[in-house]
Chains A and B, each alone.
Chain A
Amino acid sequence: MRKRSWAAALAPTLMLTLAAGATCAAGAVTLLNASYDPTRELYEDYNKAFAAYWKTRTGDTLTINQSHGGSGKQARAVIDGLPADVVTLALAYDVDALVKRGKLIPDTWQARLPDNSSPYTSTIVFLVRKGNPKKIKDWGDLVRPGVGVITPNPKTSGGARWNYLAAWAYALKQPGGNATSAQQFVRKLYENVPVLDSGARGSTVTFVERGIGDVLLAWENEALLAAREMGADKVEIVVPSISILAEPPVSIVDKVVDRRGTRAVAEGYLKYLYSPQGQEIAARHFYRPRDLKVAAKYASVFPKILLVTVNDVFGGWTQAQATHFADGGTFDQIYGK
């Protein structure tokens, strides 16, 4: 009996080992893509397209597995040994962690692919209730008394950090704007936040299902998806005058692909994201494509907004993280006494 239970316990491990071994055999290849939450549908589509493309090019049958979760959680899983061949995360800070904490990739990773290794982009927009009863037009309206703003906690949610920085960037661009006035603005904004969910999907549920708040700060792709799923009779999208260019980065995980011998296919997988086909799939899932031709085709979906980048305004993610979201940073100061 005891022996049998040992065998039962070992079986999954064995199966994993076999699965890993099987990838080395010619003709059948597996890839693991560790991604964040809202990309589930995007990569389901993209994986099918890429597997078909790879089959015609090399004859190999490719099985792509997806793993989804909070961006930071996924990065930690890869650091702790999740054998992901590629990561497609929400912000460069989490990919940087693979360099600093795990030495899994070289620190030049962001220069290896075009456009800061972000094949598609997004931005932060507002989702308001049908008819926009509180007349929310721009960031300035979010700090009015009586306006409930829903956004997740930037300390636990990668997506929420984009929201925070977008608000900060707006305040900086106002006449006479500086770091002090920006912090003042963001403080007033968070005084209007009644619930700090731990993740972006949680905030969407709080806003849509629980009916809390007047405006949800959301990624454009999430807002467009929510608007399509629920119909225009419940929510509508408001595009602010200025927002931040959210660049979700992708990278191969060198240590993993070298061990598993999947470097070529992993690189091909990421490069194909930049092809017209890959860009088209991204656009269909409401991510802004980089490719100008595809962008022109979907111009009606993505309104023109003045977009600032984290590199230009905040000196990159490492610095933004240290200034704003580390313990004792500007976000903590808002809630500190």
Chain B
Amino acid sequence: MAASAAAMNQSFRRPRRVLPGFGLTLGYTLVYLSLIVLVPLSAAFLRSAGMGWEGFAAAVTTPRVLASLRLSFGAAALAALINAVFGLLVAWVLVRYQFPFKRFVDALVDLPFALPTAVAGIALTALYAPNGWIGRLIEPLGLKVAFTPLGVVVAMTFIGLPFVVRTLQPVLEELDREVEQAAATLGASGWQTFVRVIAPTLWPPLLTGFALAFARGVGEYGSVIFIAGNMPLVSEITPLLIITKLEQYDYPGATALAVVMLVMSFTLMLGINALQTWAHARHGKK
């Protein structure tokens, strides 16, 4: 007992390092993050700063901008939610069951990652257009997907799927099956086991997957632009309005919109991170 405590103490004092020193790696981290993330972002802030507060407020509160923000964030949230539900299902099936062509299905999940977004957009539009394979079937039911806000959700769901599946998979693989068996021997039903035993472990990665899919959806341009229809006040996403402003050489106006998207996304990400920490802590205490 005493010996192990001493050993622990020693290992605490002199942790064995796999990689070279903390100072060097942190230094690289900061430089890298600054170069890749912070410098471009501050350039965006600086450019929009030139227009003054009133110009900024006027530029980002027009009805069209507000409508586009509602669509961009609303559709991304909805798409991420759909992915959270069905992505969990896919991850579960891929981890827990053996079936033919499993590797093939597994690779299929990554396809939205690898596909150029424009290709995805064109393919989805071809499917859901009134003369497409799916569009032809659902159009008579009064359901229009291509060239409506619904199309935006479809495109964002497509590109967001891998984020949820890939964050859940490793966690599901690590899950201790014996704990589930123990729950069963103690008389828990399947549902109780899922809600009480499995779900608490899955919450944090599910939130991460949701956040990633959501962020990807908000920022998506290439695939959405083909299927959205881009009607003002109805199916315009905010990135399109940014392009519109650039097309008029209105750099400050474009960056003003970018800053609004940035701040909103960052706030939401912080919120989701906090939620995740809370879920983690709650689970840890149990």
Task: Please tell me if A326 contacts chain B, counting CB pairs below 8 Å.
Answer: yes
Asked if B64 and A335 make an inter-chain contact with CB atoms under 8 angstroms apart, the answer reads: yes
Distance A108 CA – B247 CA, assembled complex (angstroms): 23
Task: Please tell me if A268 contacts chain B, counting CB pairs below 8 Å.
Answer: no
Tell me, rounded to whole Å, the shortest Cβ–Cβ distance linking A171 to chain B: 21
Asked if A156 and B243 make an inter-chain contact with CB atoms under 8 angstroms apart, the answer reads: yes
Task: Please tell me if A194 contacts chain B, counting CB pairs below 8 Å.
Answer: yes
Tell me, rounded to whole Å, the shortest Cβ–Cβ distance linking A170 to chain B: 23
Task: Please tell me if B233 contacts chain A, counting CB pairs below 8 Å.
Answer: yes
B247's closest neighbor in chain A, by CB?
A72
Tell me, rounded to whole Å, the shortest Cβ–Cβ distance linking A267 to chain B: 27
B interface, size bucket: 20 to 34
Distance A325 CA – B130 CA, assembled complex (angstroms): 31
Task: Please tell me if A146 contacts chain B, counting CB pairs below 8 Å.
Answer: no
Given A101-B249, A198-B230: A212 touches B129 (CB 8 Å cut-off): yes
Given A197-B230, A335-B64, A337-B63: A155 touches B129 (CB 8 Å cut-off): no
B233-273 residues with Cβ-Cβ distance < 8 A to A are 233, 240, 243-250, 253
Distance A198 CA – B239 CA, assembled complex (angstroms): 12
Among B63, B130, B244, max chain A CB count under 10 A is at: B244
Chain A residue numbers with a CB within 8 Å of B64 are: 332, 335-336
Asked if A326 and B248 make an inter-chain contact with CB atoms under 8 angstroms apart, the answer reads: yes
Task: Please tell me if A210 contacts chain B, counting CB pairs below 8 Å.
Answer: yes
Chain A residue numbers with a CB within 8 Å of B247 are: 70, 72-73, 155-156
A interface, size bucket: 20 to 34
Asked if B63 and A210 make an inter-chain contact with CB atoms under 8 angstroms apart, the answer reads: no
A328's closest neighbor in chain B, by CB?
B62
Task: Please tell me if A114 contacts chain B, counting CB pairs below 8 Å.
Answer: no
Task: Please tell me if B131 contacts chain A, counting CB pairs below 8 Å.
Answer: yes
Asked if B248 and A327 make an inter-chain contact with CB atoms under 8 angstroms apart, the answer reads: yes
Which label, helix, strand, loop or mixed, suits the secondary structure of the A interface?
loop
Asked if B232 and A335 make an inter-chain contact with CB atoms under 8 angstroms apart, the answer reads: yes
A337's closest neighbor in chain B, by CB?
B63
Tell me, rounded to whole Å, the shortest Cβ–Cβ distance linking A319 to chain B: 14
B225's closest neighbor in chain A, by CB?
A198
Asked if A97 and B249 make an inter-chain contact with CB atoms under 8 angstroms apart, the answer reads: yes
Chain B residue numbers with a CB within 8 Å of A197 are: 226, 230
Task: Please tell me if A51 contacts chain B, counting CB pairs below 8 Å.
Answer: no
Interface string of B45-74 (1 = CB under 8 A from A): 000000000000000001110000000000
Tell me, rounded to whole Å, the shortest Cβ–Cβ distance linking A191 to chain B: 11
Interface string of A101-144 (1 = CB under 8 A from B): 10000000000000000000000000000000000000000000
Given A156-B240, A210-B125, A210-B131: A194 touches B147 (CB 8 Å cut-off): yes
A59-89 residues with Cβ-Cβ distance < 8 A to B are 70, 72-73, 76
Distance A275 CA – B253 CA, assembled complex (angstroms): 43
Given A153-B230, A197-B230, A198-B225: A211 touches B129 (CB 8 Å cut-off): yes
Distance A211 CA – B146 CA, assembled complex (angstroms): 12
B250's closest neighbor in chain A, by CB?
A327
Task: Please tell me if A316 contacts chain B, counting CB pairs below 8 Å.
Answer: no
Tell me, rounded to whole Å, the shortest Cβ–Cβ distance linking B280 to chain A: 35
Asked if A196 and B231 make an inter-chain contact with CB atoms under 8 angstroms apart, the answer reads: yes
- Could you name 22 residue pairs across A and B whose Cβ atoms are closer than 8 Å? A72-B247, A73-B247, A76-B249, A155-B244, A155-B247, A155-B248, A156-B240, A156-B243, A194-B229, A195-B231, A196-B230, A196-B232, A198-B240, A202-B225, A209-B126, A210-B131, A212-B129, A212-B130, A321-B248, A325-B248, A335-B231, A336-B63
The 5 A-B pairs of least Cβ separation, nearest first, read: A335-B232, A210-B129, A211-B131, A72-B247, A196-B230
Q: Which residues of B contact A (CB under 8 A)?
A: 62-64, 122, 125-126, 129-132, 146-147, 225-226, 229-233, 240, 243-250, 253
